Structure 1
Amino acid sequence: MKIRKPRFVSILALVLGTSAATGACAGVQPEADIDPGLQATVERRIGGDRSGACLAVGVVKVEGNAPRIRRAYACADPKEAGRIGANSAFEIGSVSKTMTATLLAGLIESGQASLDDPLADYLPEGTGVPRYGEQVIRLRHVVSHTSGLPALPPGVPLADPRDPYAAMTPDALLGALDRVQLTQAPGETFAYSNFASMLLSLAVARRAGEDFDVLLRERLFQPLGMGGAHLDAPPEGIVAAEGHLPNGSRTPAWHFDPALAGVGGVRATLDDMLRYAEGELGRAPQPLADAIELTQQPLQTPAGTPIAMNWMLADVGGHAILAHEGGTGGFSSLVAIDRERGRGVVVLSDTALTSLGGLGDLGMHLLDERQPLPGPRKAVPAPDALIDALVGEWQLQGGPAMSVRRKGDALEIQAPGQPAFEMGHDDRGDFYPLAFDALMHPLQGPDGGYTFVWHQGGGAMPARRLDAVAAGAAAGLLSDYAGTYPLAPTDMTLTVSERDGVLHAQATGQGAFALVPAGGDVFRADAFGIEIRFQRDGSGRVVALALHQGGQVLGGERL
């Protein structure tokens, strides 16, 4: 992908009417024929999958002025094939954030905004926006997820976990800012924040002087010909797809205050999103094309995470890729763009697949066929030895304790005060509750023992066996390990600290991660494949550590 320098000099009015929809992006025709090759690929990926998901998939290839569009619709169970179609609107979740970034980029291109502007300048006067010393949160920190704001607004309750954003209001969000204390300078660490993205919706609308839903419709949907895209009521002829959990059960739709919907409230059909992909590939009318191109430019931050304006950056087969996945309670989505080769991929699912790894494997394969395409996840019996290895009492990092028991030839889990839930097992080696959306991913350590990571609601919680906690505590208090350890032969330093009864480690320029006791002076972070072995001197004082990861060992003496 060719990267141009951002232009801040054009003063163009970004008020576009419906006539632009007949321009460059009108190449996608509704009810087009299914592409047999793509259909076969999607069926190989989803056919028989234990999630029961249905997928709408499209691939755009731009060659000159004649884009080639391929589509496929497939379900895990062929009997459910009528569940989705060309007029089905899917919740696209966090892919909406890339659209919010485009609206901001339009303000930048028209001279109304700058990425270096403080966020506070875009919010109502008197709003208490946190600082870190004299350093303020700027718009570039918000669109690169380095603002330092938490994932969700503190003190704002989730009234209904099945529809978590429905009761959130702009006033509640602005009030929550007063309760935030930044623990480090903005820009230092990548930490994905839906809170910051909701604030960006407010900020963009206030600066533009229009309601957020009006901005989306007039400055993005209409110019690109996204006639079925919407926030609330679907346009005539568009039907809301019904969302599902990956156990096949139906789940309610998510709702957002329209002023905050840039975080994940857009609903769209496959053809709408194919038009969006065409726009990302350079086929949008001006001045929208300049705004889109600006969002694709890499942002340099101290955190070092490859990111553009709300687009994640990756290298796939030697090509620079822009991508973003989205997930709500009953839907998953993916848009991936290879600007250099003129190729875009859209994958929409009527089932929440976040806990199962999302849609990236299919999307990357469609961008580059050299990337492997896993088959469907199918339910299979769990090995007896694995069941026995996981039976016991566990503590989830940042979550509840959990009892894991054998139930016949399967596992069941139970948290304190909760009913027991039977677990299924699939051919990827993962366990999953039959009654709700979560995943237990077993991990085998160097000693042959097992632990697991619990995936739920987009989060990953490493589990520690409670008898291993006792073994770790027997070696000494957690504070014994706290200190600073320069890691040779690198220029990185590992800082180890104890917080709320959990040991944490943080390498230079990276985020902190929890360490789980694994016996003696050994701690692990299985989600990252890390094992740390602390060393003591003759008096019993911790004086050094060895960090094992990926077959490499880094040593560090305690300062």
Structure 2
Amino acid sequence: MHLRLLAIAVISALSTHSTFATTDAELRSVLEKRFAGDRSGVCVAAAVVGDGGGVARAFVCAGGGKPRVDATSAFEIGSITKTMNGTLLAQFILAGKVSLDTPFADLLPKDAKLPVFDGKPILVRHVVTHTSGLPGLPPGFAPTDLSDPYASLTEAALFASLAGAKLERAPGAAFEYSNYATMLLSASLARMAGTDYETLLRERVFAPLAMRQSYIGKRPDGVRATAGHMSNGGETPPWTLPGNLAGVGGVRATLGDMVNYVQAQLAARDSTIADAIALTHVEVKTGAQPTMGINWILTPLAGRTVLMHDGGTGGFASFAGFDPERRRGVVVLADAAIDGVNELGLHLIDASTPLGTPRTVTKPDPKLVDALVGDYTMAGMKVSLTKRGDALVVQAQGQPAFVLSHDSAGDFFTTEFDARLSPIRKADGGYGFAWHQLGGTQVAQRVGAVAGKPAVVPTPEQLAAYAGEYPLVPGFALTVFEKDGKLYVQGTGQPPIEVAAAGDDVFVADAVGAQLRFERREGKVAAVTLEQNGQKLRGERR
């Protein structure tokens, strides 16, 4: 969820304005603008909860026509489930059974070996802010089915894997998104309650909020489990989050139930768990960024604080967020594993956030295709990029060749399976690429030297013209400065990284696979776009 150069990819920088979507028709218009012609063919269910309790709802598909999703469609909401897990924890806190400063080991089985760092234990507050230091996934975890990666993981194996876990820094020192830690917490809450996790969630969250169409494994009558899709439009199997581990991302919910959930966050819906919900919104201090409540991300936006969380599984993408000051909430549920739901969700909360654009099929620049052709190594495997007519072709050693299409976001992709290739500009003027598949990213290394055009060598005075602060997302900015004839970029709360000129107003950081493309107005540097791991974030210079 986070990158070395970019702390947390939430939204593009603030720049454009439009009218709030406050009616069904207005919301439908926004969704159609965002997804019309999107190559994924995604269908989206979205809702905006306005001040006064009014709700706008819309169902839209990228290809137009009658949507395949409706009010009875249950979507995988992925990691938004973590905020519900946080509500359960808050109930235990209010009952005096645990606190944020309770050592997390106290919640685990006695034979579970939770690591410490220099005598400093992991506390509950570290788990709900992703600062525990535990890795993203259990040590030694090897999915047997990549289309349903967690299905074979058991609770016993989860706790046993702690024997191989090590901390590289003190808990609370840095943000590192950990599904592993959340699964441990989910299982621990079920143990504390003396019941299974789905029953616990149904009795203590779903029932109080009248979320009668939400479930983990026991689908209610009249609810249809929506099929998930890959970003190339093909169907993909649902994810299984076994038993008591499901608090990490195992909930399915309809749009109506998620509206109930967001209304409860805004205190627009009376419930017996209002105090627990309010507690999840309070900042949990650790000293790390981003600022978080109990599993909610606290995001500065247009001078206010918005609470949000996104979700993603193999076939779905989702967003839930709300602005307590303006009493406005948003839900976005997509039946495909697409990028950009955060941008859309935050645009619907505050229209100063750019809406984003659909990924449409386009023709690649022939010069770019020629520059990418060559042999590479990636994850210990040889990969070749060749040319067939005007198209780029990828072939891993011992595997078939696949012709790649190109989209308006600048990525190449195949329709045979869900993967995309993002070109990476190099300091010598040549190109490498990043390969995105199954939720992960691998950076390929070119085999042998390739003669790119000579590197641009700006003078210190020319470099100084780029200096300044460029906010990319609320709470995160790039600071650019010149020192000793070199240009450096420093993300909020991160160390500076040297970047090298790769063209006019283009700089790259080869070590992290990032590119900075500066824009000028009337000859002066005015904005920058960061491209990294297939994502693009733009910021105006302050």
TM-score, normalising length: structure 1: 0.76
CA distance in 2: counterparts of 1:514 and 1:459, whole angstroms? 25
Q: Which amino acid aligns with 1:101?
A: G
Q: Tell me the equivalent position of 1:375.
A: 357
CA distance in 1: counterparts of 2:126 and 2:151, whole angstroms? 26
CA distance in 2: counterparts of 1:513 and 1:152, whole angstroms? 28
1:403 correspondence with 2:384: yes
Confirm or deny: 8 A CA contact 2:330 2:345 kept in the other structure.
Answer: yes
1:443 correspondence with 2:443: no
- CA spacing shift, 1:167–1:379, aligned 2, 3 Å: same
Confirm or deny: 8 A CA contact 1:389 1:450 kept in the other structure.
Answer: yes
- CA spacing shift, 1:233–1:112, aligned 2, 3 Å: same
Which region of structure 1 is more displaced relative to structure 2, 441-450 or 294-303? 441-450
- CA spacing shift, 1:235–1:137, aligned 2, 3 Å: same
Confirm or deny: 8 A CA contact 2:43 2:67 kept in the other structure.
Answer: no
Q: Tell me the equivalent position of 2:237.
A: 252
Q: Tell me the equivalent position of 1:48.
A: 37
Q: Tell me the equivalent position of 2:302.
A: 317
- CA spacing shift, 1:272–1:400, aligned 2, 3 Å: farther
Please give the per-residue CA displacement for 1:259-306, whole angstroms capped at 9, x wherever unaligned.
100011000000011111101112344541111111112222233322
Residue 39 of structure 1 and its aligned partner are, at CA, apart by 0.7
Confirm or deny: 8 A CA contact 1:314 1:320 kept in the other structure.
Answer: yes
Q: Which amino acid aligns with 1:71?
A: R
Matches within 5 A, 1:453-468: 453-467=434-448
CA distance in 1: counterparts of 2:286 and 2:58, whole angstroms? 39
> 1:363 is paired with a residue of what secondary structure?
helix
CA distance in 2: counterparts of 1:202 and 1:347, whole angstroms? 28
CA distance in 2: counterparts of 1:363 and 1:300, whole angstroms? 26
Please give the per-residue CA displacement for 1:24-83, whole angstroms capped at 9, x wherever unaligned.
xxxxxxxxx9811111111111121100100001010132xxx0100000001124x341
Confirm or deny: 8 A CA contact 1:514 1:525 kept in the other structure.
Answer: no
Confirm or deny: 8 A CA contact 1:325 1:358 kept in the other structure.
Answer: no
- CA spacing shift, 1:384–1:530, aligned 2, 3 Å: closer
CA distance in 2: counterparts of 1:184 and 1:529, whole angstroms? 29
1:207 correspondence with 2:196: no
CA distance in 1: counterparts of 2:57 and 2:26, whole angstroms? 10
Q: Tell me the equivalent position of 2:406.
A: 425
CA distance in 2: counterparts of 1:90 and 1:400, whole angstroms? 36
> 1:204 is paired with a residue of what secondary structure?
helix
CA distance in 1: counterparts of 2:77 and 2:134, whole angstroms? 23
Q: Tell me the equivalent position of 2:533.
A: none
CA distance in 2: counterparts of 1:126 and 1:512, whole angstroms? 42
State, as a whole percentage, how many aligned pairs show the same letter.
Answer: 46
Residue 457 of structure 1 and its aligned partner are, at CA, apart by 2.9
Confirm or deny: 8 A CA contact 2:46 2:332 kept in the other structure.
Answer: yes
Q: Tell me the equivalent position of 1:339.
A: 324
> 2:361 is paired with a residue of what secondary structure?
coil
Residue 436 of structure 1 and its aligned partner are, at CA, apart by 1.9
Residue 456 of structure 1 and its aligned partner are, at CA, apart by 2.7
Confirm or deny: 8 A CA contact 2:284 2:294 kept in the other structure.
Answer: yes
Confirm or deny: 8 A CA contact 2:281 2:293 kept in the other structure.
Answer: yes
Residue 392 of structure 1 and its aligned partner are, at CA, apart by 1.5
Residue 411 of structure 1 and its aligned partner are, at CA, apart by 1.1
CA distance in 1: counterparts of 2:498 and 2:157, whole angstroms? 31
Relative contact order (alpha carbons < 8 A, sep ≥ 6): 1 or 2 greater?
Answer: 2
Q: Tell me the equivalent position of 1:68.
A: 54
Residue 463 of structure 1 and its aligned partner are, at CA, apart by 3.2
Q: Which amino acid aligns with 2:444?
A: A
Confirm or deny: 8 A CA contact 2:135 2:178 kept in the other structure.
Answer: yes
CA distance in 1: counterparts of 2:291 and 2:346, whole angstroms? 17
Q: Which amino acid aligns with 2:350?
A: D
Matches within 5 A, 1:74-85: 74-79=60-65, 81-85=66-70
Residue 467 of structure 1 and its aligned partner are, at CA, apart by 2.8
CA distance in 2: counterparts of 1:233 and 1:508, whole angstroms? 43
Match of 1:524 among 510, 517, 526: 510
CA distance in 2: counterparts of 1:156 and 1:427, whole angstroms? 36
Q: Tell me the equivalent position of 1:307.
A: 292
Larger radius of gyration: 1
Confirm or deny: 8 A CA contact 2:264 2:271 kept in the other structure.
Answer: no
Confirm or deny: 8 A CA contact 1:60 1:70 kept in the other structure.
Answer: yes
Q: Which amino acid aligns with 1:383?
A: D
Residue 446 of structure 1 and its aligned partner are, at CA, apart by 5.3
Matches within 5 A, 1:63-462: 63=52, 67-79=53-65, 81-353=66-338, 357-396=339-378, 400-445=381-426, 447-462=428-443
TM-score, normalising length: structure 2: 0.79
Q: Which amino acid aligns with 2:412?
A: F
Q: Structure 2: which 5+ runs fail to align?
A: 1-21, 453-478, 480-488, 503-507, 518-526, 530-542
CA distance in 2: counterparts of 1:97 and 1:202, whole angstroms? 13
- CA spacing shift, 1:511–1:226, aligned 2, 3 Å: farther
Match of 1:37 among 17, 26, 35: 26
